[in-house]
């Protein structure tokens, strides 16, 4: 997946329309940005474009306004935070298309930054309306996609606009493609994958694809419930989604056929209710009380997982090992995060809750790559082509 990037085109004097992923959480009390990691992730591309003499027209969505203007989902607080990070004013507009946006883009001097209003205030964004995509394209000379987190969406600003402008990857998008694509295309061995999260059904294709590449697969979180049931173990009152044990059984059979070692929990932290204050204890997997539920992996399992991870040449992790939002059930996720920091190989954390966990645990800077994608990372791990990536120019194409 060798795509052209901002390094491959002449940017001096050009207006660059940059799709970023500024879908950040806002503080409910103040309306300010509560977590600016996604904004910071786009900084290298924005800075590079400015250094090369381009003017920068940023576009993003925020939340789910469902195609109408929602005042609380305007990008004003995002612009304020971005301005502070850049150390320069960021111009804003009341809409992402139309006369005001066009005038602001055309008047933008080299090195200046404009942030358009929320793309999803228009239903045409998510429907990938060609006319809307063309309106966006008319604001610039080149298109840069730096929003890997929305790369799996065939929207006007992620795929449609590439039909009207030379389209290249930003530096963040380049990094995501390089690490995730490289890891799956030519993995180093031993290759260990760690999967957690709630449901097997959400990750059936991920499991199938990884089982053709990995040496060892570690299963934790809610997913482990189905695998344990498929292995004939009781999981007490733990929730098991209909159909998941069948998916798990098929995965275990496929792993056996392909010679992949699957490590499941051998001990677990169980609780009498789903709450932060629940009574809890650690038991071997064969001794789960019938009315209690599994909320984390136990110390023996953590040790087994750590041993597999620290000896790997490549590790990909997606999904927490337990209900890490509750401190009593965060030890499994913490142990896996710490094991990744001790691994001498390449370590990749696959977005979403897992990225949130390593950020909160303070170990993100010790991991080779923390993906900014959630759904996009999962689809990448499934081996699917992402529309937002496919739309970019290939290296061999010199149109730009």
pLDDT tens per residue, range 299-342: 999 999 999 999 999 999 999 999 999 999 999 999 999 999 99
Structural domains in the chain plus CATH codes? 6-172 (3.40.50.1260), 179-381 (3.40.50.1260)
What's the CA gap between 94 and 188, in Å, rounded? 49
**Whether pLDDT at 147 is above 60:** yes
Q: Of 181, 375, 383, 384, which residue is the catalytic one? A: 375
Which percentage of the chain shows pLDDT scores above 70?
Answer: 99
What pLDDT is stored for residue 350 in this prediction? Answer: 86
Indicate if 375 belongs to the active site.
yes
Q: Of 199, 203, 213, 302, which residue is the catalytic one? A: 199
Q: How confident is the model at residue 352 (pLDDT cuts 50, 70, 90)?
A: confident
Indicate if 199 belongs to the active site.
yes
**Whether pLDDT at 60 is above 80:** yes
Average pLDDT over residues 133-159: 96
Q: Of 352, 373, 374, 388, which residue is the catalytic one? A: 352
**Whether pLDDT at 398 is above 80:** no
Q: How confident is the model at residue 53 (pLDDT cuts 50, 70, 90)?
A: very high
pTM given for the model: 0.88
Which percentage of the chain shows pLDDT scores above 90?
Answer: 82
**Whether pLDDT at 399 is above 70:** no
**Whether pLDDT at 349 is above 80:** yes
Q: How confident is the model at residue 1 (pLDDT cuts 50, 70, 90)?
A: low
Helices (H), the chain: 37-51, 76-86, 99-106, 123-126, 130-137, 171-176, 182-185, 204-210, 223-230, 244-258, 299-310, 331-342, 352-360, 375-381, 387-390
Digit-coded pLDDT (tens) for 205-253: 899 999 999 999 999 999 999 999 999 999 999 989 889 999 999 999 9
Q: Of 19, 38, 175, 302, which residue is the catalytic one? A: 38
Tokens found for residue 304:
């087994």
Half-sphere exposure of 220 (CA within 13 A, CB side): 34
Work out whether the CA dihedral 238, 243, 249, 254 comes out positive or negative: negative
What's the CA gap between 168 and 27, in Å, rounded? 33
Indicate if 319 belongs to the active site.
no
CB 112 within 8 A of CB 49: no
**Mean pLDDT computed over every residue of the chain:** 94
Digit-coded pLDDT (tens) for 68-119: 999 999 999 999 999 999 999 999 999 999 999 999 999 999 999 999 999 9
**Whether pLDDT at 199 is above 90:** no
What pLDDT is stored for residue 45 in this prediction? Answer: 98
């Amino acid at each position: 997946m060798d795509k052209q990037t901002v390094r491959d085109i002449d940017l001096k004097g050009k207006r660059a329309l940059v799709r970023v992923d500024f879908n950040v959480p806002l503080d409910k009390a103040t309306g300010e940005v509560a977590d600016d990691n996604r904004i910071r992730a786009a900084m290298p591309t924005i800075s590079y474009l400015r250094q090369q003499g381009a003017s920068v027209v940023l576009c993003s969505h925020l939340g789910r306004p469902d195609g109408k203007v929602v005042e609380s989902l305007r990008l004003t607080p995002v612009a304020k935070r971005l301005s502070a990070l850049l150390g320069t004013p960021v111009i804003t507009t009341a809409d992402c298309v139309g006369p005001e946006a066009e005038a602001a883009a055309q008047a933008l001097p080299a090195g200046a930054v404009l942030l358009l209003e929320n793309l999803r205030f228009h239903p045409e964004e998510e429907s990938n309306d060609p006319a809307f995509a063309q309106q966006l394209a008319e604001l610039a000379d080149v298109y840069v996609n730096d929003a890997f987190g929305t790369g799996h969406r065939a929207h006007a600003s992620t795929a449609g606009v590439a039909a009207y402008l030379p389209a290249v990857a930003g530096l963040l998008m380049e990094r995501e493609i390089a690490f995730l694509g490289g890891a799956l295309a030519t993995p180093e061995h031993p290759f260990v994958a760690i999967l957690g999260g709630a449901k097997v059904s959400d990750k059936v294709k991920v499991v199938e694809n990884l089982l053709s590449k990995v040496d060892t697969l570690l299963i934790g979180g809610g997913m482990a419930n189905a695998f344990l049931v498929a292995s004939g173990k009781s999981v007490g009152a733990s929730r098991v989604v209909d159909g998941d044990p069948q998916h798990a059984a098929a995965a275990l059979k496929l792993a056996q056929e392909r010679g992949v070692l699957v490590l499941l929990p051998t001990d677990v932290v169980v609780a009498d209710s789903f709450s932060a204050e629940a009574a809890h204890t650690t038991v071997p997997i064969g001794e789960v009380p019938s009315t209690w539920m599994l909320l984390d992996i136990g110390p023996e399992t953590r040790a087994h997982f750590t041993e597999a991870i620290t000896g790997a040449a490549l590790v990909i992790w997606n999904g927490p090992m337990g209900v890490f939002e509750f401190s009593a059930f965060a030890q499994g996720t913490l142990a896996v995060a710490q094991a990744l920091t001790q691994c001498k190989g390449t370590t990749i954390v696959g977005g979403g809750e897992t990225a949130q966990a390593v950020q909160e645990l303070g170990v993100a800077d010790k991991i080779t790559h923390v993906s900014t994608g959630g759904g996009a990372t999962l689809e990448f791990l499934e081996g699917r082509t992402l529309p937002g990536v496919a739309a970019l120019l290939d290296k061999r194409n010199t149109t730009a």
